């Protein structure tokens, strides 16, 4: 008997093609009516199960819109006191955090999170990762002027910035008011004529022993109400000798601060990402980058500033920093169209990008070309570096790679400690075709070679969901290929055929992430119940463990779990009753490394993988149910540092592990004893587990 139950799953229908709100230049994920997938619970034998509504959504945040501060918001040429300070060569970058009073007004839990965990941890990481080439002594910031005219003048040998009318009542860094004690004395030159008169309190103490002052606020700004963002940040003052940003702000949107423990890692990586924008990774700073000898990479006018591009609202960089390159871009119907990209071409970035992709002729690292102002140009291309911390949208397993560290070095302002770089798997060693051609070209080529499409995919998100593993094999995932309400722009139409899709509909299909050039890839997701977040599909999070009676695949979530492909749907069996779940394809399991090779653990039973792709017939007993299914062996090298040569596995013993008659009266007692014994095994397994990263 097959019964269809009302188990509903909603999948986010993704972002509208080329969506961009007007006015503030916002653009965000659109939920154009959730697609309701009807899950089917197969009931073989008459067991009734209760119905629940479990919508599933792909975890994707709105893109980061780094707001490059306008010319009037930034003060350049700020002279530093005691500019050169003797320091140890290995001394870290020093970021001084100044909390605005809006932080003090947060609810105690949120305030504690921000002040004791979020910012100290983010700043500590960045301080260890970077070092300033020319350290500052004391930072004393310039004052803003009262009116918005082009009003400041400077005089040689006078480090003060002079306003033609009067100084602003408050000098702000982004939305945050800079404390008076961090400011120079106000100077006013009436009618723009010298001499300038000193007004108000004399020069203050400034901020000592810091290379960068970070003003942290929690103001409910207009941006917070318009954009679904946790925080945003930028620089606000640049010093005179090297143009390095010396002050910046990070504003947290108070309603978006979550004290949920499972959200902490995501918020931390967002805060790191935002501070990196303020320190140097910003299109507003490209024109100020310098070479390793400290010479500007973009030529300057007499006033020391690079040319200003009024249409972009940015200082115009030279092609020593960012260069436009035309790519050959394969699309559907065997067409090839020109696709222009902006590449960051500074030397260390080129070097690291070539090494990462294993493409010695790569001209530079591609910058984001979509998402509108703030997202494009200010991030790495999502298609190429998906989970890198400086791509334009948050992904759960964000890593700060050597490529971003190289960029920070290529600003000319910092040195990077590469031992702090995190391992980036996406795109690694994939070659020139991966990094220089369209994902259609890559997918077609892999199909012709009968090789995995990784990291891309071409299975439609449909009912039932076909589960797979995220590219790093640490989370259950689904392919984000979906139908859009409108045809995609021609250069992003990649499919010549898709199973079950009529030819005329093919232009509507693409990956749900616009900024990844609509290339489809496997993404982790989360389960929601009545709109409430329940759990994610990250194998390493213990809290994601499914309830006992929903754990069809006998999965195990936890810090040492990885995602494995299921070759067939798992069936739970008890007496005459059989249960299976329609959404299958992968699950989380523990693995361990042994001299014989990789072992896969299901409950307390280990299965040896003799070679990658080997099918492991799994049959175990758990809580009075027999779980039967097949798992696919991953490559031992994916998880272990040492692996024996691959061999053919021994002949499969298909005898089912049915230790007991589960239907007999004594079964419950025996099952309990069995479970007790089973509980000891994970302890033993824990000793055998390898540590991997």
Examine the residue annotation and report whether 274 is marked as an active-site residue of this protein: yes
| Sole window of 61-69, 87-95, 252-260, 413-421 interacting with Zn ion (rule: CB under 5 A) | 61-69
What is the three-state SS of 326-387?
EEEEEECCCEEEEEEEEEECCHHHHHHHHHHHCCCCCCCEEECCCCCCCCCCCCECCCCCCC
Look up residue 684 and give its two tokens.
């033993």
Could you give the CA distance from residue 508 to residue 482 in angstroms, rounded to a whole number?
Answer: 8
DSSP state of 462: -
Task: Tell me the per-residue interface mask from 11 to 50 with Zn ion, x by CB under 5 A, - otherwise.
Answer: ----------------------------------------
- In this chain, which of 64, 408, 443, 481 binds Zn ion, going by CB under 5 A? 64
Minimum Å distance from CB 589 to Zn ion?
35
Asked if 337 contacts 491 with a C-beta cutoff of 8 angstroms, the reply is yes
Q: How far apart (Å, rounded) are the C-alpha atoms in residues 488 and 510?
A: 8
What minimum distance in Å lies between the beta carbon of 515 and Zn ion?
11
Q: Least Å distance between CB 280 and Zn ion?
A: 12
Segment 387 to 416, residues that bind Zn ion, using CB under 5 A: none
Which range touches Zn ion (CB under 5 A), out of 66-74, 103-111, 171-179, 204-212?
Answer: 66-74
Pick the closer one to Zn ion by CB: 243 or 376: 376
Compose the 564-603 pattern: x for residues touching Zn ion by CB under 5 A, - for all others.
Answer: ----------------------------------------
Tokens of 150: 């082009």
Q: In this structure, what token pair is assigned to residue 170?
A: 């408050």
With 0-12 / 13-18 / 19 or more C-beta atoms within 10 angstroms meaning exposed / middle / buried, residue 281 is buried
Decide whether 269 or 566 has the Cβ nearer to Zn ion. Answer: 269
Cα–Cα dist 278/281, whole Å: 7
Beta bridge partners, 170, equal none
What is the closest distance, in whole angstroms, from the C-beta atom of residue 252 to Zn ion in the complex?
15
Choose among 12, 9, 11, 17: nearest CA to 509. 17
CB 521 within 8 A of CB 471: yes
Catalytic residue among 274, 368, 514, 573: 274
Neighbour-count burial of 20, counting CB atoms closer than 10 A to its CB (0-12 exposed, 13-18 middle, 19+ buried): middle
Burial 92-101 (b: 16+ CB within 10 A, else e): bbbbbbbbbe
The CB density around residue 307, as the number of other CB atoms within 10 Å, is 14
- Helix, coil or strand: residue 225: helix
The nearer residue to Zn ion, 403 or 640, going by C-beta atoms, is 403
CB of 282 to Zn ion, least distance (A): 9
CB 298 within 8 A of CB 321: yes
Question: Residue 206, exposed/middle/buried by CB under 10 A (0-12, 13-18, 19+)?
Answer: buried
Nearer to Zn ion, 58 or 230 (CB): 230
The 3-state secondary structure of 134-153, one letter per residue: CCCCEECECCCECCCCCCEE
Contact between 232 and 67 under an 8 Å Cβ cutoff? The reply is yes
Nearest-angstrom CA–CA distance, 496 and 352: 35
Nearer to Zn ion, 64 or 242 (CB): 64
Stretch that binds Zn ion, among 31-39, 56-64, 245-253, 365-373 (CB under 5 A): 56-64
Cβ nearer to Zn ion, comparing 64 with 367? 64
The tokens describing 512, both together, are 């749900």
Binding part of the chain for Zn ion, among 3-11, 57-65, 504-512, 632-640 by CB under 5 A, reads: 57-65
> Is 64 or 189 the residue whose CB approaches Zn ion more closely?
64
Nearer CB in complex with Zn ion: 64/216: 64
* Size of residue set near Zn ion by CB under 5 A: 2
Shortest gap between Cβ of 503 and Zn ion (angstroms)?
Answer: 38
Considering beta carbons, is residue 68 or 479 the nearer one to Zn ion?
68
Question: Smallest distance from the beta carbon of 609 to Zn ion, in angstroms?
Answer: 40
Q: Residue 217 CB, nearest distance to Zn ion (Å)?
A: 18
Q: Structure tokens of 685?
A: 């397994």
Rank residues 277 and 356 by Cβ distance to Zn ion and give the closer one.
277
Which of 66, 77, 182, 244 is in the footprint of Zn ion by CB under 5 A?
66
- Please tell me whether residue 422 adopts helix, strand or coil conformation: coil
The strand pairing partners of 588, in sequence order, are 563
Quick one: which of 220, 210, 225, 109 has its CA closest to 175? 220
CB of 274 to Zn ion, least distance (A): 7
Choose the binding region for Zn ion from 64-72, 167-175, 460-468, 605-613 (rule: CB under 5 A): 64-72
Contacts of residue 88, defined as CB under 8 A and 6 or more positions apart, other chains included, come to none
Least gap, CB of 66 to Zn ion (angstroms): 4
Catalytic residues: 274
Binding-site ranges for Zn ion (CB under 5 A):
64, 66
């Amino acid at each position: 008997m097959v019964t269809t139950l009302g188990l509903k799953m909603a999948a986010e229908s993704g972002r509208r093609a080329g969506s961009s709100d007007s006015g503030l230049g916002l653009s965000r994920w659109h939920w154009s009516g959730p697609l309701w997938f009807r899950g089917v619970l197969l009931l073989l034998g008459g067991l009734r199960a209760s119905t629940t509504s479990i919508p599933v959504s792909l975890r994707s945040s709105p893109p980061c819109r780094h707001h490059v501060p306008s010319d009037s918001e930034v003060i350049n040429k700020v002279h530093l006191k005691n500019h050169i300070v003797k320091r140890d060569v290995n001394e870290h970058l020093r970021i001084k955090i100044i909390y605005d009073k809006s932080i003090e007004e947060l609810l105690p839990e949120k305030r504690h999170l921000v002040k004791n965990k979020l910012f100290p941890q983010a700043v500590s990481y960045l301080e260890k990762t970077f070092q300033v080439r020319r350290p500052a002594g004391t930072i004393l910031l310039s004052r803003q002027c009262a009116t918005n005219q082009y009003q400041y003048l400077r005089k040689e040998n006078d480090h003060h910035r002079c306003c033609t009318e009067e100084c602003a009542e408050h000098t702000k860094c982004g939305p945050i008011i800079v404390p008076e004690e961090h400011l120079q004395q106000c100077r006013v030159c009436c009618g723009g004529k010298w001499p300038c008169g000193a007004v108000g309190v004399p020069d203050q103490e400034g901020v000592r022993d810091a290379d960068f002052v970070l003003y942290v606020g929690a103001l409910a700004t207009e941006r917070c109400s318009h954009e679904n963002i946790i925080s945003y940040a930028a620089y606000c003052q640049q010093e005179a000798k090297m143009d390095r940003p010396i002050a910046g702000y990070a504003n947290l949107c108070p309603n978006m601060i979550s004290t949920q423990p499972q959200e902490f890692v995501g918020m931390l990586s967002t805060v790191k990402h935002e501070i990196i924008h303020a320190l140097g990774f910003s299109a507003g700073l490209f024109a100020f980058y310098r070479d390793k000898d400290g010479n500007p990479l973009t030529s300057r006018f007499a006033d020391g500033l690079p040319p200003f591009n009024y249409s972009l609202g940015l200082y115009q960089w030279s092609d020593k920093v960012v260069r436009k390159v035309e790519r050959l871009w394969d699309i559907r119907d065997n067409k090839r169209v020109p696709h222009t990209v902006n590449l960051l071409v500074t030397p260390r970035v080129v070097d690291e990008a070539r090494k990462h992709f294993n493409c010695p002729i790569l001209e530079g690292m591609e910058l984001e070309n979509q998402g509108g102002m703030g997202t494009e140009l200010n991030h790495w291309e999502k298609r190429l570096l998906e989970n890198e911390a400086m791509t334009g949208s948050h992904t759960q397993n964000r890593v700060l790679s050597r490529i971003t560290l190289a960029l920070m070095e290529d600003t000319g302002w910092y040195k990077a400690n590469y031992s702090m770089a995190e391992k980036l798997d996406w795109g690694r060693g994939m070659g020139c075709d991966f990094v220089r051609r369209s994902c259609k070209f890559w997918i077609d080529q892999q199909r012709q070679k009968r090789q995995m499409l990784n990291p891309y995919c071409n299975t439609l998100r449909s009912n039932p969901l076909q589960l797979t593993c995220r590219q790093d094999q640490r989370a259950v995932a689904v392919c984000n290929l979906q139908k859009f309400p409108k045809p995609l722009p021609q250069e992003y139409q990649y499919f010549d055929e898709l199973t079950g899709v009529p030819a005329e509909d093919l232009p509507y299909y693409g990956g749900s992430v616009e900024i990844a050039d609509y290339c489809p890839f496997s993404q982790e997701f989360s389960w929601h119940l009545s709109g409430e977040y329940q759990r994610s599909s990250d194998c390493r999070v213990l809290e994601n463990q499914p309830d006992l009676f929903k754990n069809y695949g006998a999965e195990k979530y936890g810090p040492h779990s990885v995602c494995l492909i299921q070759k067939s749907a798992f069936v739970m069996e008890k007496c005459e009753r059989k249960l299976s779940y329609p959404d299958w394809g992968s699950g989380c399991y523990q693995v361990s490394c042994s001299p014989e090779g990789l072992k896969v653990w299901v409950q307390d039973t280990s299965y040896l993988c003799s070679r990658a792709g080997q099918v492991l017939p799994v049959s175990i007993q758990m809580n009075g149910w027999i779980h039967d299914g097949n798992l696919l062996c991953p490559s031992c090298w994916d998880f272990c540092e040492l692996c024996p040569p691959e061999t053919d596995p021994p002949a499969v013993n298909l005898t089912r592990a049915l230790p007991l008659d589960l239907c007999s009266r004594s079964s419950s007692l025996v099952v309990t004893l069995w479970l007790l014994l089973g509980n000891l095994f994970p302890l033993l397994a824990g000793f055998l587990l390898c540590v991997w990263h």
